[in-house]
Amino acid sequence: MVRSGPMSPPPLSLSLDLIARAHPDTVPDDETALTLLSDDDLAPELEAMLARRASPDGGLWVFAYGSLLWSPEFTVTEQRLGTLRGWHRRFCLLQRRFRGTPESPGLVLGLDRGGVCRGVAFRLADTDPHATLMPVWRREMKGKGYEGRWVRVETETGPVTALTFMVNRASDRYTGRLSDAELADKIAAACGHLGPSAEYLFRTVEACAGLGIHDRHLWSLQALVAERLHERRATCA
């Protein structure tokens, strides 16, 4: 069972209504915008990752910090709030498809070096790890933006070893450390065939708020993006 933190995060200024009003038009999919790896390409990498799994007796866990908090690709048997040390959650990966375009790429979260990240450790059924993990492995790894890694996650009932996804710094999608203002400009402007980049931000912040997780990076961004979307609406009007 996941417990909320001791203090509730501050209210959000970003909303789905504001996002929809600022981005009323649909965007067609452009399959050429991002080359995706096939399951045949991904399967050996997943097998190698499972071979590096330290202790199967501890269960099969995935550490979620972004979209997996609100849109997991697996059935969960248990979940715990957890802390990952040495890495922090940050918008640092360009998205030229799905929630952005090559001309106006959106941004998604990755784990980058340094700091601390609070998220959720999800426990999965362990009868067939490859089949269980393949959907989330495909989702996170097909665009070459992430690297899978087993990490130690601290929880209230003890540490667990979990699979998570760090940003691939060698990818041409990696932005490095942009300022919150620069990130907000990109997120507010971008929209792909799955919807606006701002919606990804909103749903992640909303999920964190529900869990009692207050990430200053996310809260600062959502406020800045809300300001830009209000300006966008005013300009269009």
Q: Which positions are catalytic?
A: 140
Which among 180, 182, 178 is positioned nearest to 167, based on CA atoms? 178
CA 77 to CA 71: how far, in whole Å? 15
Evaluate whether 193 touches 29 at the Cβ level (below 8 Å). Answer: yes
Residue 52 one-letter amino acid: R
Structure tokens at 130: 């490859």
Quickly tell me which residue has 């399967």 as its tokens: 43
Evaluate whether 156 touches 2 at the Cβ level (below 8 Å). Answer: no
Q: Which residues contact 97 (CB under 8 A, 6 or more apart)?
A: 29, 30, 31, 33, 34, 143, 192, 193
Q: How far is CA 119 from CA 80, 155, 202, in A?
A: 9, 10, 16
User: CB-side exposure of 126: number of CA atoms within 13 Å?
Assistant: 14
